[in-house]
């Protein structure tokens, strides 16, 4: 029997860069998850009898919210739910399942790179039929629904067994518990030369993968150790834990420090990689050679033809606005278009659907392609391995040759976390107010040549997304970008993105911090970060 439960709106359910993210305690309020899920369903049309995909990164609250969503999906009239065994589906695997089974859409339960546990973060994200994150028009409709919701639908039923693969009935709806890894691993085998990678791994080449006690553990163990023959132990922290072992599942130089140190050791491995909470990010480190995500996108785009899935070449490359221009130079050399989108994967979906872009990337360690509609951590690692297997050169050599051909975009991101929201807003408001007067201004990094607030017009549907970040360009092509994060759950996070281009015949071997020092000084001059945030230094530099 369908129950209609009365409720009242919560006013804080606006989806951010990637779904709704809140503290677990916020999600534990009665009716909180229910309100949001009902608001998602109410924004959709024509799903009666259709398939919904459901899974998450295994963090605290994952199983409970899956049971809630199953009952609500049955009450709202879905015909079938495909749910990952144990409630597990990485974000890219969920995207693949949606596409492969022709689902109407999917709910991905994750707060991605944010920490998990009873006092940490949880999240819910809706993906549409193409497998990608709901575009802004949908997230806005969801938000509008959350503000006027009066009731939600559910059923009374015992919990579904999530741990046994198989099919059950839930009040007339089919619940199919699927192996979360099998379809994804099969897709990877169609894209990459597994035989060549197997040979590489058998040749004495040593890799390490850090799953950060998050969702990629089972995927990485199956793919790297079982299918590609890497020795047991190649995958570290391979068991998903509800609190990620008390760690922050963000694969950057701060939170994946152990991996970095291993790769910098004199006799360390040849290749190291890590992924985040929900498996869509990647960190790539070669022996004694950290690869910035922006450079990784450029190198992968330049070498993708070495993998069977991309041998036909690329239609185009897309990157988020704050991502460095390294990929632009590759696109120019290949004679293909380069698209610059706002931050967040949802903006790539239309370009991928229209075959305008084949490879996409973000400076925040996200890279992916048209094989799914999400960024994909393990995919990026496999593409790197395929390139390494084909070229048989160290990562450092590949980077050096890349820069010698295209020049080098020195790049860093400085994050100022947990700032009081009002102070962060004041900093951005002041910057925005100064934009018109900035061109011609002298700074430590030279003369400002252009300043604006990035606005994006989607080339496929003409939709406009304004106020996506303040860009300040300098006469020599250097750039500073300022924006506030849309994924945090505590106060505001200011992100300052710094980039300086050094041409191919310039000094390609500088320390990044030294190369960017004038820009760091200019960022302080222009935004008065210390005065606004009260912080003398960034919380994280990546």
| Residue 485 site contact among ligand VG1, Co ion, none (CB < 5 to 8 Å, cut-off depends on kind) | ligand VG1
> Please, what is the angle between helix 326-334 and helix 395-406, to 10°?
70
Stretch that binds ligand VG1, among 44-52, 360-368, 474-482, 501-509 (CB under 6 A): 360-368
Cα–Cα dist 1/136, whole Å: 34
Residues 14, 124 contacting (CB under 8 angstroms)? no
Reduced 3-state DSSP string for 114-148:
CCCCCCCEEEEEEECCCCCECCHHHHHHHHHHHCC
> By CB under 6 A, what part of segment 296-335 binds ligand VG1?
320
Instruction: At 85, give phi and psi (nearest 5°).
Output: -55, 135
| Residue 486 site contact among ligand VG1, Co ion, none (CB < 5 to 8 Å, cut-off depends on kind) | ligand VG1
Stretch that binds Co ion, among 270-278, 289-297, 329-337, 510-518 (CB under 5 A): 270-278
**465 near ligand VG1, rule: CB under 6 A:** no
Residue selected from 120, 121, 278, 295 as contacting Co ion according to rule CB under 5 A: 278
- Smallest gap, in angstroms, from Cβ of residue 164 to ligand VG1? 29
Residue selected from 57, 276, 328, 458 as contacting ligand VG1 according to rule CB under 6 A: 276
Q: Which of residues 278 and 370 has its CB atom nearest to Co ion in the complex? A: 278
Report which residue's Cβ sits closest to Co ion. 112
Among 366, 347, 348, which Cα is nearest to 357's?
348
**367 near ligand VG1, rule: CB under 6 A:** no
- Smallest gap, in angstroms, from Cβ of residue 415 to ligand VG1? 9
Which pairs with CB-CB distance under 8 Å and at least 24 residues apart come from 169-174?
Answer: 170/70, 170/71, 170/74, 170/81, 171/2, 171/74, 171/75, 172/74, 173/73, 173/74, 173/78, 173/79, 173/80, 173/81, 174/79, 174/80, 174/81
CB neighbour list of residue 216: distance below 8 Å, 6 or more residues apart: 90, 209, 275, 279, 377, 378
* Annotated catalytic residue within 18, 110, 112, 294: 112
Residues 198, 189 contacting (CB under 8 angstroms)? no
**154 near ligand VG1, rule: CB under 6 A:** no
> By CB under 5 A, what part of segment 62-121 binds Co ion?
112
**Is 112 a catalytic site residue?**
yes
Q: Which of residues 337 and 486 has its CB atom nearest to ligand VG1 in the complex? A: 486
- Smallest gap, in angstroms, from Cβ of residue 302 to ligand VG1? 22
List active site positions: 112
Instruction: Point out which residues bind ligand VG1 (CB under 6 A).
Output: 17-18, 112-113, 276, 280-281, 320, 343-345, 362, 364, 366, 485-487, 495
């Amino acid at each position: 029997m369908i129950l209609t439960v009365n409720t009242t709106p919560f006013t804080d359910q606006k989806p951010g860069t990637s779904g709704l993210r809140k503290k677990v305690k916020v999600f534990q309020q009665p009716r909180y998850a229910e309100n949001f899920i009902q608001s998602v369903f109410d924004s959709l049309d024509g799903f009666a009898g259709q398939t919904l995909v459901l899974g998450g990164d295994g963090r605290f609250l994952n199983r409970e919210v899956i049971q809630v969503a199953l009952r609500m999906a049955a009450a709202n009239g879905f015909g079938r739910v495909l749910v990952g065994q144990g409630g597990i589906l990485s974000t890219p695997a969920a995207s693949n399942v949606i596409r492969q089974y022709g689902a109407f859409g999917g709910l991905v339960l994750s707060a991605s790179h944010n920490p998990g546990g009873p006092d940490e973060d949880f999240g819910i994200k809706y993906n549409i039929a193409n497998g990608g994150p709901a575009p802004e028009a949908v997230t806005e409709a969801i938000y509008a629904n959350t503000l006027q919701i009066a009731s939600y639908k559910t059923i009374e039923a015992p919990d579904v067994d999530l741990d046994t693969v198989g099919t059950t009935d839930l009040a007339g709806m089919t619940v199919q518990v699927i192996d979360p890894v099998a379809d994804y691993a099969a897709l990877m085998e169609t894209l990459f030369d597994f035989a060549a990678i197997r040979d590489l791994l058998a040749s004495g080449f040593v890799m390490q993968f850090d799953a950060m006690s998050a969702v990629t553990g089972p995927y990485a163990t199956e793919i790297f150790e079982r299918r590609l023959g890497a020795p047991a132990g190649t995958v570290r922290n391979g068991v998903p834990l509800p609190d990620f072992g008390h760690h922050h599942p963000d694969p950057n130089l701060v939170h994946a420090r152990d991996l970095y140190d291993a790769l910098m050791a004199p006799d360390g491995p040849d290749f190291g990689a890590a992924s985040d909470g929900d498996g869509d990010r990647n960190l790539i480190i070669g022996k004694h050679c950290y690869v910035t995500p922006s450079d990784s996108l450029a190198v992968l785009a330049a070498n993708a033809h070495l993998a069977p899935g991309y041998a036909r070449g690329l239609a185009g490359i897309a990157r988020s606005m704050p991502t460095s221009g390294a990929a632009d130079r590759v696109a120019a050399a290949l004679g293909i278009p380069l698209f610059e989108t706002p931050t967040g994967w949802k903006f790539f979906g239309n370009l991928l659907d229209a075959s305008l872009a084949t490879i996409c990337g973000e400076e925040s360690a996200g890279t992916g392609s048209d094989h799914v509609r999400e960024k994909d951590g393990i995919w990026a690692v496999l593409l790197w391995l395929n390139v390494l297997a084909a070229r048989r050169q160290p990562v450092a050599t590949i980077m050096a040759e890349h820069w010698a051909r295209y020049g080098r975009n020195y790049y860093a991101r400085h994050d100022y976390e947990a700032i009081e929201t009002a102070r962060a807003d004041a900093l951005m408001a002041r910057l925005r107010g100064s934009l018109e007067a900035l061109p011609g201004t002298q700074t430590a990094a030279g003369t400002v040549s252009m300043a604006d607030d990035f606005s994006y017009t989607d080339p496929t549907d003409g939709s406009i997304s304004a106020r996506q970040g303040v860009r300040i360009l300098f006469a020599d092509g250097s750039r500073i970008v300022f924006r506030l994060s849309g994924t945090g759950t505590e106060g505001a996070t200011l992100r300052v993105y710094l980039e300086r281009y050094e041409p191919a015949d310039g000094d390609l071997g500088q320390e990044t911090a030294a190369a960017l020092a004038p820009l760091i000084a200019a960022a302080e001059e222009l935004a008065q970060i210390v005065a606004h945030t009260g912080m003398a230094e960034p919380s994280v530099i990546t």
